[in-house]
């Protein structure tokens, strides 16, 4: 049975980027990350991706080598005039302008029995968590302090969210992947 999973990499002090929006200290070795057990498993089990426009823009117009070669649903208020390169028979890009519920519904249909992965920034993940659409969190913790920046878990009613740890993986480079089920 497919799950909706929200995931992010964060610093030990809880930031997904620094005060300038930079993520480079969280991803010091992308080649090593691509080979990490957690990402390899996620790539295999993911049937569709949901992301916000900012995460889409971070692809700099080219998804040719994107790790998830699956349908991508981009939540946005404004559809760009040009679509990123890299679409193929597996990876397609669809812009969704009518909210997170619609994007998740479309992604689930495209994913079939595989999982839907919410990637990138905090905003879309927060909206999906608030709407009760997320089944699991996959958080990667890097052993760095950023001091300030964007927090993944802001603007949530954390009192009502109950979690169960389901798995922990230690990856190269000091990365620790922690998997949590959201108890509903």
One digit per residue, pLDDT tens: the chain, 184 residues?
689 999 899 999 999 999 998 989 998 876 676 677 777 888 899 999 999 998 898 887 789 888 899 999 999 999 988 888 988 999 999 999 999 999 999 999 999 999 999 997 789 999 999 999 999 999 999 999 999 999 988 888 877 889 999 999 988 788 899 999 999 8
Cα angle 72-165-139, degrees, rounded to a multiple of 5: 40
pLDDT of residue 60: 78
42: nearest Cα among 137, 155, 165, 182? 137
**What does the pLDDT read at residue 84?**
86
Domain boundaries along the sequence of the chain:
4-183
Dist CA 65 CA 86 (whole Å): 7
Task: Establish how many alpha carbons lie within 13 A of residue 158's alpha carbon, considering only the half-sphere containing its beta carbon.
Answer: 4
pLDDT value at residue 155 = 80
Max CA separation in the chain (angstroms): 43
Residue-level pLDDT at 154: 85
Q: Please write the tens of the pLDDT for every residue from 9-58.
A: 999 999 999 999 898 999 887 667 667 777 788 889 999 999 999 889 88
Whole-number pLDDT of residue 182: 95
Closest residue by Cα to residue 3 from 104, 139, 126: 104
Buried b (16+ CB within 10 A) or exposed e, 16-34: bbbeeeebeebeeeeeebe
pLDDT the model gives residue 178: 95
Is residue 169 a contact partner of residue 177, using CB atoms and an 8 Å limit?
yes
Instruction: Return the closest-CA partner of residue 66 out of 108, 27, 30, 110.
Output: 30
4-183 belongs to CATH 1.10.10.1100: no
Per-residue model confidence (pLDDT) at position 38: 75
pLDDT of 40 reads: 82
Per-residue DSSP letters for 35-94?
Answer: HSHHHHHHHHHEEEEEEEHHHHHHTTTB-TT-S--S-EEEE-SS--SSPPB---SS--EE
Token look-up 């927090």 returns 151
Task: Yes or no: say if 145 and 11 are a contact pair by the CB < 8 Å rule.
Answer: yes
């Amino acid at each position: 049975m497919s799950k909706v999973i929200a995931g992010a990499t964060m610093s030990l002090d809880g930031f997904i980027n620094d005060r300038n929006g930079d993520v480079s200290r969280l991803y010091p070795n992308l080649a090593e990350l691509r080979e990490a057990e957690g990402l390899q498993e996620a790539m295999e089990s993911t049937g569709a991706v949901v992301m916000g426009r900012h995460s889409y823009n971070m692809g700099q117009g080219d998804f040719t080598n994107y790790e998830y070669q699956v349908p991508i649903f981009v939540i946005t208020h404004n559809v760009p005039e040009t679509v990123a390169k890299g679409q193929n028979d597996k990876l397609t890009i669809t812009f969704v302008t009518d909210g997170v519920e619609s994007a998740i519904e479309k992604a689930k249909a495209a994913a079939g029995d595989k999982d839907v992965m919410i990637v990138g920034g905090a905003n879309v993940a927060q909206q999906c968590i608030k709407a009760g659409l997320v089944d699991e969190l996959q958080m990667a913790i890097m052993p760095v302090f950023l001091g300030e920046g964007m927090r993944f878990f802001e603007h949530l009613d954390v009192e009502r969210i109950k979690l169960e740890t389901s798995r922990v993986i230690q990856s190269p480079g000091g990365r620790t992947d922690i998997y949590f089920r959201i108890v509903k």
